[in-house]
Amino acid sequence: MERAKTLGELKKAHYPGLSVKDEVRANLIEMLKSGKTIFPGIIGFDDTVVPQIENAILSRHNFILLGLRGQAKSRILRTLTLLLDEELPFVAGCEIHDNPLRPICRACRELIREKGDATPIDYLSREQRYVEKLATPDVTIADMIGDVDPIKAARGGHALSSELTIHYGLLPRANRGIFAINELPDLAGKIQVGLFNIMQEGDVQIKGYPVRLPLDVLLVFTANPEDYTARGKIITPLKDRIGSEIRTHYPQTLEHAMAITQQEAWVRRNGDARLVIPQFIQEVVESIAFEARQEKKIDKRSGVSQRMPITCLENMVSNAERRSLLNREGTVVPRLSDIYAALPSLTGKFELEYEGELRGADAIARDIIRQSTAKIFRKYYEGVPLQGIVKWFELGGNLKIPQDAPAEAVFPQFKRIQGLLENVEPLGIKPKDDKALQVSGAEFILEGLYATKKINRSEELGYHVESRHIETPSEEAGPVTPSRRRSLN
């Protein structure tokens, strides 16, 4: 169908001219009827957050997403554009994209009065109808609402009190679209007052001049509960005018969390080597976030972002990639030791309580990796006899593997440990699989035994078992006297 170029053609096409909330509601209804995915890429919210957002849209509410960092709040808001029409007609040249059928700005009203059905029409894409602003304390009313432009007044010969002299801010420019404000509590109180006046009354005051501006906009916000006390708060009148408050949450299952990480992490590199990330390695990486959220030494009010496992996976793959490049290997297979190499991607993702500050972020991160390893190790090896491996170390064996050692060099050393390579099958690894994959599985077993305190690991000795021997006096040492017995004990 050919697009209308003038107001007259638009009328003949029977353009409905719905408000943005009615438009989003109508498109949501059609998507629900057809069974289409409403929020593609949003995982784990199907039974909790998504139905609440749908209810808010069906109710024509402005709404706020309330949740800790890294809970996909901003992503959800940006996905709302899929509920907008592909194109929107507006009066050509209008700064606030006025509705040709119901213009609100004076300039458009005068243009339509002058040209009538010959008024030119232009179009906005759905992406252009989404405006997002990160709230900061330095945001002003001029930024959000607008200000008087004396140059515009001088050039047009208008009085400063005229609506035609206004330089519109972000909110009016989002007219007939979605206006999103991230971290709403950081917005100064007087700016929040300006917002609720627009939401309720549809008018603003700029430099003392009242201007009626009944904007057609869907207002959506995000906030972190911690911000209510740490940096600011949402003023009560504004909070009262927000139709729905929707709580987000972190992934509730390991499967959902892994799906998010696989979707978001940049791991498919353009290198020549083939990348294979074992399932058990991915599970350990994901469990790190779950363990961190339960760790008493980490501040739960601040939260542990889902970005933690994403950046950890990326950094871990990079370390494996670097080892592959150094050794000219054709396959990149991460090992559990690569997760320890990814510590810099973990330590900046959580805030510590006082007890945690005493230990340090690095030590806490290492503890969490061990806890995650133990949890996944038990999943695969609960009831699997591994005493032969432990016995090898108890008999005095120790094994120290350089982190950058190639699989070809490590494989023979692992083969010396009776039962080690033979027990990688519960991980889904076969004896004929690539040696790099077998090495990764074998190292996971050793790290699992270390995490469950069956063997030890140190920088000097590598994997080993600490033995406690009481020296038995030899015949040459002479008879054992009471005083000598006390010294031996």
How many domains is the chain partitioned into structurally?
2
SS3 content of the chain, % helix, strand, coil (to 5): 50, 15, 40
Q: Which single residue is written with the structure tokens 């909330």?
A: 21
Q: What is the CATH number of the domain that holds 150?
A: 3.40.50.300
Last residue of a domain, one of 183, 212, 247: 247
Has residue 485 been placed in a domain? no
How far apart are the C-alpha atoms of 271 and 429, rounded to whole Å?
Answer: 24
What are the average pLDDT values for consecutive 10-residue runs of the chain, which has 489 residues? 84 90 96 94 94 97 93 94 94 90 87 93 94 88 74 60 70 91 88 78 63 84 70 80 93 95 90 88 97 93 91 96 93 95 93 90 95 97 93 92 92 94 94 94 96 92 73 42 39
Do 366 and 423 belong to one domain? Answer: yes
Do 205 and 137 belong to one domain? Answer: yes
In this predicted structure, what is the pLDDT of residue 151? 62
Within 106-174, strands assigned E span 121-125, 130-134, 146-148, 166-168
Has residue 482 been placed in a domain? no
In this predicted structure, what is the pLDDT of residue 258? 96
Do 234 and 280 belong to one domain? Answer: no
Angle at 231 between CA 229 and CA 234, to 5 degrees: 70
Has residue 472 been placed in a domain? no
Distances 89 to 30, 101, 162, 223, 271 between C-alpha atoms, Å: 21, 10, 26, 33, 46
In this predicted structure, what is the pLDDT of residue 230? 46
In this predicted structure, what is the pLDDT of residue 137? 82
Q: Where are the alpha helices (DSSP H) in 328-434?
A: 336-341, 354-359, 361-381, 387-394, 407-415
DSSP assignment letter at 148: E
In this predicted structure, what is the pLDDT of residue 197? 72
In this predicted structure, what is the pLDDT of residue 171? 87
Do 271 and 318 belong to one domain? Answer: yes
In this predicted structure, what is the pLDDT of residue 169? 82
Has residue 484 been placed in a domain? no
Last residue of a domain, one of 247, 275, 304: 247
Domain that holds residue 390: 254-464
Per-residue model confidence as pLDDT tens digits over 91-109: 998 988 999 999 888 888 8
Do 194 and 55 belong to one domain? Answer: yes
Has residue 53 been placed in a domain? yes
In this predicted structure, what is the pLDDT of residue 203? 63
**Token pair in block for residue 464:** 């080993």
Has residue 352 been placed in a domain? yes
Do 378 and 422 belong to one domain? Answer: yes
Q: Model-level pTM?
A: 0.85
Per-residue model confidence as pLDDT tens digits over 215-233: 899 999 999 886 544 456 8
